[in-house]
Amino acid sequence: MRVLLVCLGNICRSPTAEGILRHKLEQAGLADRVEVDSCGTGGWHVGKAPDRRAIAAAARRGFDLSGLRARQLEADDFRRFDYLLAMDRDNLLALEARCPPDCRAYIGLFLDFAGYENQAVPDPYFGGKEGFEEVLDLVEAGAEGLVAELHQRLGAVS
């Protein structure tokens, strides 16, 4: 099973979601059965580490984002991944617009898995420290819901 988490620049929200989801999959015993990656719909930050504020906020909660590097969405991602999950409606629309007709992947909002239908993970880039904390709260809830979904789909034993 393969999951791709998508935001605009791939330096704040989607790498935070990637790091947290990987951690929670490991805790659930699913890390060897689920591949996780993240990307941005824009290419401004390709090759760069996550925002230092995102790295610091995640580290305070025990999540390591320091080894992640930004990349841009590629056409092949629609074939390689089973789930393409956007952090907000604008990036969801970008995914839908670029989606090839033969795509079989689930494309939706990440927070739908937390029961927050049609809710976005807000972009903390231009805000302060509290924005990164809010992102962590929302992403942890989304990751827990997605792990439960993947657990069920993979028929994993608790």
- Say if CB 24 and CB 103 are below 8 A apart: no
Exactly one of 37, 77, 112, 123 is catalytic; name it.
123
Check if 60 is active-site: no
CA distances from 154 to 19, 42, 54, 146 (A): 21, 32, 31, 12
Q: Which amino acid is at 2?
A: R
Q: Which helix (H) or strand (E) holds 93?
A: helix 89-98
Catalytic status, residue 39: no
Cα–Cα dist 135/119, whole Å = 12
Return the sign of the alpha-carbon dihedral for residues 77, 118, 140, 148: negative
Which among 12, 13, 51, 71 is annotated as catalytic?
Answer: 13
- Residue 22 annotated in active site: no
Question: Pick the catalytic residue: 7, 12, 22, 88?
Answer: 7
Question: Which residue numbers are catalytic?
Answer: 7, 13, 123
